[in-house]
Amino acid sequence: MPRMDGNTNLQAGAASATTRAGNSPELRRVLANIRVLVAIVAATEAVSLSASTRPTMMLAVLGYAAWAGWLCWVELHGMRPIRSMLTSWIDATWILLFAWLAGTQSSIYTLLLLFPVLFAALSFGFVPGLMISLFAAAGAGGELLFRDLNIGKLSPEILLQPLSILVLGPLVAGLARAGVQMNEQMSVADRLLGAADPRLGVKRVAETLLRGVSRHFAADLGLLLIWLPGSDARLFRCDRNGRFGELDGELRTALVDALVRLPADVVSVHHHAHLLGRFPLRYTSGFDLVNKTPTNAARPAVQDLAEALDAHSMIAIPIFRRGPHPCRLVLESAHRRYRSHDADLLAGVMDQLAPVLENAGLLERLADEAMATERARIGRDLHDNAIQPYLGLKYGIEALARKAGADNPLRTDILSLQEVALEELHTLRELVSGMRSGASGGDDALCPALQRQAKRFTELFGIDVSVQCEGNLSIRRKLAAAIFPMVSEALTNIRRHTAAPRAEILVRADDNDYTVEIRNPHDINSPPEPFLPRSVVERAESVTGCVVVDIQQNGITALMISIPKTT
């Protein structure tokens, strides 16, 4: 289905969403500018030092200023970005050099060690920031200890500055990473909110959201279970290549049962690996969404789901926790190890996106109710304006049949006309009954309607038409009403354009599609040219279906119409 515009925009937005906050060019430019500010602060402080220390310090500050200026120039001019972890370690080493040269004349250089911690935490995460803070604290403590040993005097006060770095460093790293995660959460949610339009329906919104989060979190498989009030559970799937679809059949039933068993307020992360390629290792963690406390309440259900999906690393989060039905999002990856902060980020994103899904379901339900009301109104109009005249025609033909005696040569034709009128009246009554009830659920009305049409077609045109139905054909009335004209058009084309004495209609259903196949024989020596019936193709595309014509070498022309069950 070539929806180039929508898919292109969606992929572009999802690709942008994959850019982590720590990798963004904007953040790298900000950090480069902050390095320049650190160099300016160091130079300002160097001016206040003693005359013996100032020249050496100024040379060191100029060296760091050259380093910071080069990084800033690279980022501002869009050159190759500097993403190496070594940059933060180099920053810390420069500032430790400043602290060593300043000695006891200034303590501000020790506090400047918090900036490399900030750089590492913003760019690479909490753990690199923590490692830089430990290195800075150890370096500052070593410098002070070495200086006091040289002068032969040890005082407890020398530990205050390293301890301050040791305490403030992890705090700065944690706050910086929390800010990055919040910014990333808002960025991802804003991008997906801009791409998701509730007016397009639940399926299109689910496609946009599932593709976006799967791509952002590098998932090989994404599952989204949506169970809104007044509707059945719907399970959508997206793989790593962006292929999206709605699951049906036994697979859907099994996965829905596994997803429903997950607790309604617990976010879970699961890992499965093999030690030395032989010994299985499983790890499952979770936290309560309400109070953010760790919990193992979801472990059995999560492990069962992970086994069903053969998941290596998996996140499972609840959606619509206040709703009457369970809704879930599951991401699975074979090459990325999900962690608690990924689950926390994903839960925050889906908290902002959940109202879009709810609005899409509400609009879809309102549209269905409006359609049912309109069908009921049209059904009442048809009952008054179509069935009543047909009844009058039926009574007239019956009276004409009574007047025509048994020896009347027209009696046979009159009785045939009476039977046709009765069949048409029966069909019209079924149509009006369904419309007046406003029902749109599945039933088995398609096959009986096709069989009556085949019988009528055989009687009128002398072409033997057989109907065969296979599988579970509980087709919704709206979809059956769309399929019936396609079959009628195909039979009409057989009568107009071929000399076939017979035709076959085969209707079957598999896990994902309904397939209607209309077959007729052709002359093996002069097969028809390849063709596609335009009117049938247009009707099929209106319900997201497709049409294929197979001109077989054994003398059979097969017109195959495939329509997704989820259309």
Q: What DSSP string runs through 518-565?
A: EEEE--TTSPPPP---HHHHHHHHHTT-EEEEEE-TTSEEEEEEEEET
- Sequence-distant (6+) residues with CB within 8 A of 311 are 221, 270, 272, 305, 332
In this prediction, residue 504 carries a pLDDT of 94
Rounded CA gap, 436 and 431, in Å? 9
| Token pair listed for 2 | 């070539």
Rounded CA gap, 167 and 385, in Å? 85
pLDDT in tens, 315-358: 998 887 666 677 889 999 888 888 887 888 888 888 888 888 88
- Using DSSP, state whether 86 is helix, strand or coil: helix
In this prediction, residue 464 carries a pLDDT of 92
In this prediction, residue 548 carries a pLDDT of 92
* HEC string for 207-274: HHHHHHHHHHCCCCEEEEEECCCCCCCEEEEEECCCCEEECCHHHHHHHHHHHHCCCCCEEEEEEEEE
Which domains, from first to last, does the chain contain?
Answer: 4-187 (no CATH), 193-367 (3.30.450), 444-567 (3.30.565.10)
In this prediction, residue 16 carries a pLDDT of 38
What average pLDDT does the structure give for the chain? Answer: 79
In this prediction, residue 556 carries a pLDDT of 93
- Using DSSP, state whether 502 is helix, strand or coil: strand
- Using DSSP, state whether 408 is helix, strand or coil: coil
Q: Is the dihedral of CA 533, 535, 536, 542 positive or negative?
A: positive
Rounded CA gap, 49 and 143, in Å? 18
Rounded CA gap, 368 and 210, in Å? 24
In this prediction, residue 166 carries a pLDDT of 81
Rounded CA gap, 54 and 102, in Å? 9
Rounded CA gap, 48 and 53, in Å? 10
| Token pair listed for 282 | 């499983």
| Identity of the residue numbered 506 | L
Q: Which residues of the chain have pLDDT under 50?
A: 1-22, 440-442
Rounded CA gap, 54 and 563, in Å? 81
